[in-house]
Amino acid sequence: RELAKALRTGRTMRRPHRQSYKRRARNIPDKVMISERPAEAADRAVPGHWEGDLIIGKDHKSAIATLVERSTRYVMLAHLPDGYNATSTRDALVQTVQTLPPHLRRSLTWDQGSEMSRHKEFSIATDTPVFFCDPGSPWQRGSNENTNGLLRQYFPKGTDLSRHSREHLHAVAAELNSRPRKTLGWQT
């Protein structure tokens, strides 16, 4: 037990919380599935393909949107101080993605959360198509899931995420982006 507490996650094995047969697809209008995503996104050779998700805070009242670029593992965090409904998530993602040059906005892959039900408006505003993973398949956004695990060191479960400022989120993202990664040959 002492050794397990010394691990980064504090646990030796992952314990599933839900049964896969209870998962169902969300009713998101006009969603385009990950199977229709361009092949260049799958092999990570071309930068500009992003994976996204939310980190949910205490009592499901606050959240932070995370975006991870697939080939470079570059992290961007979007501030959601007023909740994570579809409108506020869309607005925060549009504001974050529009800081990128157009050649780095090729696609965004998201899970089937209802916070992305306004994905068409996001795509029109940023000229970035959105693709959705299959239900209960987090490995289809592996870089983002790994990054969210790293971010939990900065934002532990059960904390109020709305108290973090946009500047603090940028500082955390900069720290993660300057971290050497084994998958990148120990480059940042």
Query: What is the per-residue DSSP string for 27-66?
Result: --TT--BGGGS-HHHHTT-SS-EEEEEEEE-GGG--EEEE
Q: State the pairing for strand pair 49-56/130-132.
A: unpaired
Distance between CA 87 and CA 7 in Å, rounded?
38
The contacts of residue 98 (CB under 8 Å, 6+ apart) are 125, 126
In the chain, the domains with their CATH numbers are 33-179 (3.30.420.10)
pLDDT tens digit sequence for 131-143: 999 988 888 999 9
Mean predicted lDDT score pLDDT of the chain: 89
pLDDT tens digit sequence for 58-91: 989 999 999 999 999 999 999 998 889 999 999 9
Distance between CA 166 and CA 172 in Å, rounded?
10
Helices of type H across the chain: 2-6, 39-42, 86-97, 119-126, 142-151, 166-177
